[in-house]
Amino acid sequence: MKIKKVHWIGIGFGLILIVAGLIFFLSNEEKNLLFFIIGLGITVGILPFIVDVIVQNKKAQEINEMFLEFSRNLAESVATGTPISKSIINLSRRNYGPLTEHIEKLGNQISLGIPLSKALFIFARDVDNNVISRAVSLMSEAEKAGGEIAAILNSVSLSIAEIEKLKSERKAAISGLIVQGYIIFFIFIGIMLIMEFKILPLALQIDTLSGLSHGSVSATASPGQGNAGESLPNLFLYLLLVQGFFTGFAIGKLAEGSLKAGIKHSFIMIVSALLISTGVRAFI
């Protein structure tokens, strides 16, 4: 991914928050506020990249929809007897959203005399979309073979339409599971916080009272209790972060069939776990 200006702005603000936290809270005995500020700085620094991934995924979806419309229009034009090259040139004057510039380039290349197969290859390379690459490859081979181009283009458009339909149906069917996944994750965060602030102190208190009742045993029990009281909350946080990381990728894979789509879910869950856990520690 190419780092853009907005990415550098996010990184800059994130570093400012982290440095400010280190300057003002490093010497403070209460480290939880420092960890909260650092987590907030990391979130601000990574947020532009996550937004960019979301925008790219949405753009890819729009490109698929526009290519479906383009393939249908191309099939209709060829069916009327217009050669495929001339049909593409005519369609390059229409608006196809985010695909318009690529179709205009394709039409211009064909107008300049570049062979159709080579122009289609450049078109697929520029768009960089798996569905379009397969469809363009089939169109190119059909043009070389000299078969029924109109029938083949119609089959391509039907195939793309079926793929998009299956994606939409899967997304609709899995949307309930996505919501359940988020609900379960936030319930898990609540359970970890209850264990940290309610159950763990109570268990340590009972253990301390048990040690005091045995007299000299308390002297050897105290150091272990102190270490447990300090390390277990950190283990809870690590557990939440790991859980959020893998749960987000699983949700993305189930919902959209891509691990890349799971980045945004992982980011949301990790940030939520980090800020909620450190925030509760800092302000309660």
Which tens digits make up the pLDDT trace of 64-109?
Answer: 888 888 888 888 888 888 888 888 888 888 888 888 999 999 889 9
- HEC-encoded secondary structure of 132-190: HHHHHHHHHHHHHHCCCHHHHHHHHHHHHHHHHHHHHHHHHHHHHHHHHHHHHHHHHHH
Region 41-70: what's the mean pLDDT? 84
Q: Give CA–CA dist 164/157, Å, rounded.
A: 11
Please, are residues 36 and 56 in contact by the beta-carbon 8 Å criterion?
no
Q: Look at residues 129, 130, 159, 153 and name the one whose alpha carbon lies nearest to residue 141.
A: 153
- What is the number of other CB atoms lying within 10 angstroms of the CB of residue 266? 21
Domains and CATH numbers, the chain: 63-165 (1.20.81)
pLDDT, residue 28, reads 63
Mean pLDDT for the chain overall: 79
Coil, helix or strand at residue 36: helix
CA dihedral 159, 165, 168, 174 (to 10 degrees): -100
pLDDT, residue 22, reads 79
pLDDT, residue 36, reads 81
Q: Give CA–CA dist 220/19, Å, rounded.
A: 40
pLDDT, residue 220, reads 45
Q: Is the pLDDT of residue 148 over 80?
A: no
3-state helix, strand, coil in the chain (%, to 5): 85, 0, 15
Output 263 or 257, whichever has higher pLDDT.
263
pLDDT band at 211 (very low <50, low <70, confident <90, very high): low
Q: For residue 114, give both structure tokens.
A: 């570049």
Rounded to 5°, the CA angle 235-238-240 comes to: 110
Q: Give CA–CA dist 153/147, Å, rounded.
A: 11
Q: pTM (2 decimals)?
A: 0.65
pLDDT, residue 145, reads 65
Which tens digits make up the pLDDT trace of 212-225?
Answer: 555 544 444 444 44
